[in-house]
Amino acid sequence: MSTPTSGTFSATTVEIPKRASVYVKEVPTKSPTKSASVSDNGGDETDFPITTTEIIVSRCSVS
């Protein structure tokens, strides 16, 4: 089994200040283009679900 070489993967580090609440939500998204069939790319393509992660940081104001 071969490893797919196409696709974009990214990692993001988010620093969260103290006294903040964080809400993380994964939102499934549709691909803007239809993926190629297996016969078009030699049969090595593996379909991965496309997911968008929304990170909402709410800062608490303390007086």
Q: How far is CA 7 from the centre of its chain?
A: 11
Which of 17, 19, 14, 18 lies closest to 55, judged by CA? 14
Q: What is the pLDDT of residue 7?
A: 58
Q: What is the pLDDT of residue 1?
A: 46
Mean pLDDT in runs of 10 for the chain (63 residues)?
Answer: 55 64 65 50 56 65 56
